[in-house]
Amino acid sequence: MKKIEGLVVPRIPPDVEAAFKALRAIPKVEALQVPQVDLSAFTEMRKNALTVFPEWQRQITQQMQPMADLQRQMRQIALPPQSVIDQFNDAAKNFRSSFQFPVPSAEQLEIFKQLSELEVQKRALERIGLLPHRSMPVSLLTEQDDDVLRSTLQQHYTENWERIGEGIRERVNSFDIDDEAKAVMVEALEAHRNGHYRSVCRLLLPEIERVARVEFEGNRAGPVNMKKVMVEPALDLPLSETRLNGYFALLLFDHLADHLYVRVDEKNRLELQQDPVPNRHAAIHGIVVYRSFWNSLNVIFMTDFAFQLMAAIKEAQRQSGGLN
């Protein structure tokens, strides 16, 4: 403890201090902007539309880097109790200049508190293998017992599926994608409600590729490079207003970027079988059977995101003159 003019101020543990330093890198959480990509070269050369994704990823990664740095710090620390954070807050108001390093402001401490809560929720999703989604009841994610957490979440989504499914349907209908994709999502939502989980996985996974083929490839035959489709998932989510979605976006990106379209072999087959998030190659070629409630729910969340992303790309192409 450190005493300053009669006020006892707790020493900040090194790991918490490191997190504060990362936090100072984002004094203001700005809205995430959809990158404007120059598609003129792509239009002239008639290249695969999905090759624009590396540039999108580069720009998005640059915007999200401070948040990613902070997340890495949050993973490594033991979060202090709220009473200690309150003491730091009091000290920061009156004795900022007395510390050997800049003391976080009251606003930053409040953000730190919120982020610590979000990190608990994010870790819960990672433990049970569930992708984040706007419909997520985050208040349930504080449960430490994974079996209880799974049971509670399954009950929530089962009992409220009529409302949740309608929300997803309305959201997908607002995307600038073809009517077939919207009809397929309606069928998938109904299949999930009826417990036809195998059908959901086998219906939606190839539909993502079909939409990319129709919207960006002129519906030509031949392979589509889908590896580049699953980039930063929060392209239209302003972090200043929906910090929860922005924070969870990194979890979605990390998982999808290296999982959805990876090819299956004997080395990774068991790992993919145990992952609740389906893999397209494993599902389409019958290498892994996806038939659980969680497999189905994850594919619905994943497809919602993919449709959103492709609609955003179409808009960027229009703005650049690359799409009629």
Q: Which residues contact 174 (CB under 8 A, 6 or more apart)?
A: none
pLDDT interval class at 7 (50, 70, 90):
very low
Instruction: State the CB neighbour count (10 A cutoff) for residue 298.
Output: 23
Residue 293 reports pLDDT greater than 90: yes
Tell me if 89 is assigned to some domain.
Answer: yes
Q: Region 163-174: what's the mean pLDDT?
A: 95
CA distance 284 to 264: 11
pLDDT, averaged across the chain: 71
| Residue in the block written with tokens 């993502």 | 208
Residues 314 and 215 sit within 8 Å (Cβ to Cβ): yes
pLDDT at 154 (0 to 100):
97
Angle formed by the axes of helices 293-320 and 197-216, to 10°?
Answer: 10
Q: Pick the more confident residue, 66 or 140.
A: 140
Instruction: Kindly indicate the confidence band of residue 68, based on its pLDDT and cuts at 50, 70 and 90.
Output: low
Tokens of 87: 């003491």
For residue 301, pLDDT over 70 is answered with: yes
Q: What is the DSSP letter of 140?
A: G
Average pLDDT over residues 125-148: 91
4 in any annotated domain: no
- Give 39-67 pLDDT, tens digit per residue: 344 343 333 433 434 444 445 455 555 55
Q: Which two tokens stand for residue 310?
A: 């492709």
Cα-Cα-Cα-Cα dihedral sign, residues 295, 297, 300, 305: negative
Q: Quick one: pLDDT band at residue 8, thresholds 50, 70, 90?
A: very low
Return the higher-pLDDT residue of 317 and 197.
197
**If you average pLDDT over residues 24-40, what whole number do you get?**
43
Rg, C-alpha atoms of the chain = 22
162-171 long-range contacts (CB < 8 A, ≥24 apart) are: 162/193, 164/135, 165/189, 165/190, 165/192, 165/193, 167/134, 167/135, 168/135, 168/300, 168/304, 171/134, 171/304, 171/308
What's the number of domains the chain is made of? 1
pLDDT at residue 170, rounded to an integer = 96
- Does some domain include residue 224? yes
pTM exceeding 0.85:
no
CB 271 within 8 A of CB 291: no
Least confident range of 68-72, 168-172, 184-188, 269-273: 68-72
Q: Looking at the domain assignment, is residue 104 inside a domain?
A: yes
Lowest mean pLDDT among 54-58, 79-83, 212-216, 248-252: 54-58
Convert the pLDDT of each residue in 199-243 to its tens digit: 999 999 999 889 988 887 777 787 666 655 444 333 433 333 233
Residue 304: which domain range? 10-320
Nearest to 206 by CA among 113, 97, 284, 298: 284
Instruction: Find out whether 65 and 251 touch, Cβ atoms under 8 Å.
Output: no
Position of tokens 């003159």? 321
Residues 6+ apart with CB under 8 A from 171: 134, 304, 308
Identify whether 1 is part of a domain.
no
Poorest-pLDDT segment among 88-102, 127-141, 216-230: 88-102
3-state secondary structure of 3: strand
Which residues neighbour 231 within 8 Å (Cβ) at sequence distance 6 or greater?
53, 56, 57, 60, 253, 257, 309
Amino acid identity, position 277:
V
Please give the single-letter amino acid code of residue 130: L
